[in-house]
Chain A
Amino acid sequence: MKSAWASALVVPPLAMTALFFVAPVLYLFWVSLHEASPSELYGAALTLQNYAAVFADSFYVAIIRRTLAVAAVILGLSLVIGYPVAYFVALLPPRRRMLVLLLLLFPLMVSNVVRAYGWVALLGRRGVVNTGLASVGLIDAPLDLLYSTPAVVVGLMTILLPYMIISIANALAALDTRYEEAAQALGAGPVRTFLHVTLPLSTPGVASGTLLVLLLTLSAYVTITLLGGPRSKLLVSMIYDGVTAFQWPHAAALAFILLALALALTMLVLALLRPARVQGTGR
């Protein structure tokens, strides 16, 4: 009875997803398997050339590498910075915790474009940082802070870090303190209690934060375009370039490579963290 109701509730969103997401994605895949056409969306002949060309071209391979590297660096930094912050947020009493989480969400209320231009104003050749450093005599010529991969990393971090912190903080706050007490009762000191109990039990939060950060990094566009400039392009930028050049099958193939990367990374994260083993068995 209960499961019948639950199934009924799932039908409309599933139908929507099938109609407006799965079907178009399949069509996109179909497009990516065709040669380009000067006049149509795609040409007549079926081909794997769109994929082969990407992997044969060192330029694209470098971009894929850079995309993965940026994602890895952002993920690593968000974990290293985010976990300790989340840990202390989770220790706060509920009202204060809510307040801090709202504060963390505040930057997300500002549009991506506005925030990215904020970074431009800060990091540009005549931006706040360069003029500041020059005025105190630390530098003679302005530094190239903007339009670089580090600028992209910094820009994305400010958007993505809150996702990581909030995910982990919620998982930690929901953790029954009895587990930590049980570990202490069995002789585990604070460090081992954290390593053997708290950390593994927070993996659902770590996994969802990791997936959010990874997937949002892979699909970010505004920030990497405005802060990365032409020299620090990522996979998403190439898809956009392909579309603006009317190379539909080529852009579709790049989109699928990105999707495959996202799926592979998701599986990797879930396989490594295995969040399901500490989650409920379902009701």
Chain B
Amino acid sequence: MSDAQIDVRLAAVRKSFGSVVAVHNVDLEIRRGTIFSLLGPSGCGKTTTLRLIAGFERPDAGDVYIRGERVTPIPPYRRNFSMVFQSYALFPHLSVAENVAFGLRMRGMARSRRAEAVRDALALVKLDPLADRYPRQLSGGQQQRVALARAIVVKPAVLLLDEPLGALDKMLREEMQIELRSLQQRLGITAVFVTHDQEEALTLSDRVAVMRNGIIEQTGAPREIYDRPRTEFVAGFLGASNFIDGTVVAREGDTATVETSAGRASLRGDSAIGQRVRIAIRPERLRMERFDGAGLPARVRDIVYRGPVTHFYLESAGGPLISYQQNAGANEWAVGDQVRCAWDPESAVVLGSGRA
């Protein structure tokens, strides 16, 4: 990947507030034309990371680059970015068109060209009929679109989005996710998206960085993050997971056999014999088989019907397990049944101890 394709780069960036380390030696690279999500619980440092890219915060150490230029000492208003705020921060004293024109005005674009650019931007977010309204006369979803139009009209090197969909209701949020995604792809914008909503991150992003306590635990494509979590935190934060502890007792090619308290299981990987491992298996990958089959023995404790899937809560000697089963055919299990839990070796992931 050549440097010319990297729109944003953070190099060993550190930021503390008093004694609290908000961002701890973060490195990341964001490719041109992609959406990069910073995902994590509140207080994980994702918003601070975004504000470091914007320049609203200055790093204690490390450097920030936008399009290859080192912007660490440069104030926000001279950096090539724009931003959509969680509360939108539309200027209440300016009309929709004036809000969208603001960035162009500050960049010294001529009035006539400005009007055209504003019209185009508002058309993109389907708000052209509301150009003369004031923000207070708009619904939350409409304000969101204005904020988006105001940010993209200046054609920034990178668009920063700080939980922009957080204030919308669920239906509208899902609609906006898809719209935002298609808009971003059509315009080829590079975007950094901060969210605590894992589904949103998976839906929107080309790459996701999962953050905790100021550290990026894992970066990868949504699928990679979900299917191959490297730490227990990542596995647990993106949906449910079964965690099983064991010791590698045998290896055959790239398949290892793990002895757990509930029995033997197999997994793919390069773990050495004798190594203690914790493995994670997604509930939808945990199969339930008849008790005379192979796998970890367990007992059905609870069954929750959820429409398209049924959640089975199981008890094993190694602790509780969850299995999601598609409701395609008839449900053959009942509470109290003895079952065997099995999975394909490639569905099990060996977790690291922490820092990835």
**What are the nearest 10 A-B pairs in CB distance?**
A186-B103, A187-B106, A182-B89, A178-B89, A185-B83, A184-B76, A184-B77, A200-B93, A188-B106, A278-B92
Nearest to B98 among chain A residues (CB) is A196
Q: With an 8 A cutoff between CB atoms, is A220 at the interface? A: no
Nearest to A192 among chain B residues (CB) is B106
Contact: A182 with B106, CB < 8 Å? no
Q: Which of B81, B83, B93, B134 contacts A182 (CB 8 A)?
A: B83
Residue interface mask A183-227, B partner, CB < 8 A = 1 = 111111100110011001101000000000000000000000000
Chain A residues, CB < 8 A from B78: 187, 189
Chain B: minimal CB distance from A174 (Å): 13
Q: List 18 A-B contacts (CB under 8 A).
A: A178-B85, A179-B89, A182-B90, A182-B91, A183-B91, A183-B102, A183-B106, A185-B81, A187-B77, A187-B103, A187-B154, A188-B77, A188-B102, A189-B77, A197-B91, A200-B93, A201-B93, A278-B92
Nearest to A199 among chain B residues (CB) is B93
User: Chain B: residues with CB nearer than 8 A to chain A?
Assistant: 54, 56, 75-78, 81-83, 85, 87, 89-93, 102-103, 106-107, 134, 136, 150-151, 154, 160
Chain B residues, CB < 8 A from A179: 89, 91
Nearest to A186 among chain B residues (CB) is B103
Chain A residues, CB < 8 A from B106: 183, 186-188, 192
Chain A: minimal CB distance from B98 (Å): 10
Contact: B93 with A277, CB < 8 Å? yes
Q: With an 8 A cutoff between CB atoms, is A176 at the interface? A: yes
Nearest to B86 among chain A residues (CB) is A178
Chain A residues, CB < 8 A from B82: 185-186
Chain A residues, CB < 8 A from B102: 183, 186, 188, 196
Q: Which of A176, A181, A192, A203 contacts B56 (CB 8 A)?
A: A181
> Quick one: given A181-B76, A183-B102, are A281 and B107 in contact (CB under 8 Å)?
no
Chain B: minimal CB distance from A180 (Å): 9
CA–CA, A41 to B102, complex, Å? 62
CA–CA, A193 to B103, complex, Å? 11
Contact: A281 with B154, CB < 8 Å? no
Chain B residues, CB < 8 A from A188: 77, 102, 106
CA–CA, A189 to B87, complex, Å? 22
CA–CA, A184 to B81, complex, Å? 10
Chain B residues, CB < 8 A from A278: 92-93
Chain A residues, CB < 8 A from B150: 186
Nearest to A200 among chain B residues (CB) is B93
Contact: A185 with B76, CB < 8 Å? yes
Nearest to A180 among chain B residues (CB) is B89
Residue interface mask A47-84, B partner, CB < 8 A = 1 = 00000000000000000000000000000000000000
Contact: B103 with A181, CB < 8 Å? no
CA–CA, A281 to B81, complex, Å? 32
CA–CA, A200 to B94, complex, Å? 10
A188-B102, A281-B136 given; name 18 further pairs at CB < 8 Å. Answer: A176-B89, A181-B76, A181-B85, A182-B83, A183-B91, A183-B102, A183-B106, A184-B76, A185-B83, A186-B82, A186-B154, A187-B103, A187-B106, A188-B77, A188-B106, A189-B75, A189-B77, A189-B78
Nearest to A277 among chain B residues (CB) is B93
CA–CA, A278 to B135, complex, Å? 10
Chain A residues, CB < 8 A from B103: 186-187
CA–CA, A188 to B83, complex, Å? 13
Chain B residues, CB < 8 A from A277: 92-93, 134
Please indicate which of the listed interface residues B82, B102, B107 has the most CB atoms of chain A within 10 Å of its own CB. B102
Chain A: minimal CB distance from B139 (Å): 13
Q: Which of A147-162 contact B (CB under 8 A)?
A: none
CA–CA, A20 to B93, complex, Å? 38
Chain B: minimal CB distance from A157 (Å): 30
CA–CA, A183 to B82, complex, Å? 10
Nearest to B136 among chain A residues (CB) is A281
CA–CA, A232 to B54, complex, Å? 57
Contact: A182 with B85, CB < 8 Å? yes
CA–CA, A186 to B136, complex, Å? 21
Chain A residues, CB < 8 A from B87: 176, 178
CA–CA, A281 to B143, complex, Å? 15
CA–CA, A209 to B69, complex, Å? 46
CA–CA, A185 to B134, complex, Å? 21
Q: Which of A258-279 contact B (CB under 8 A)?
A: 277-278
Chain A residues, CB < 8 A from B83: 181-182, 185
CA–CA, A249 to B78, complex, Å? 66
Q: Which of A101-151 contact B (CB under 8 A)?
A: none
Contact: A201 with B92, CB < 8 Å? yes
Chain A: minimal CB distance from B248 (Å): 51
Chain B residues, CB < 8 A from A183: 77, 91, 102, 106
CA–CA, A131 to B315, complex, Å? 97
Residue interface mask A218-251, B partner, CB < 8 A = 1 = 0000000000000000000000000000000000
Chain B residues, CB < 8 A from A189: 75, 77-78
Chain B: minimal CB distance from A106 (Å): 33
CA–CA, A193 to B93, complex, Å? 14
Chain B: minimal CB distance from A225 (Å): 42
CA–CA, A203 to B92, complex, Å? 12
Chain A: minimal CB distance from B147 (Å): 9
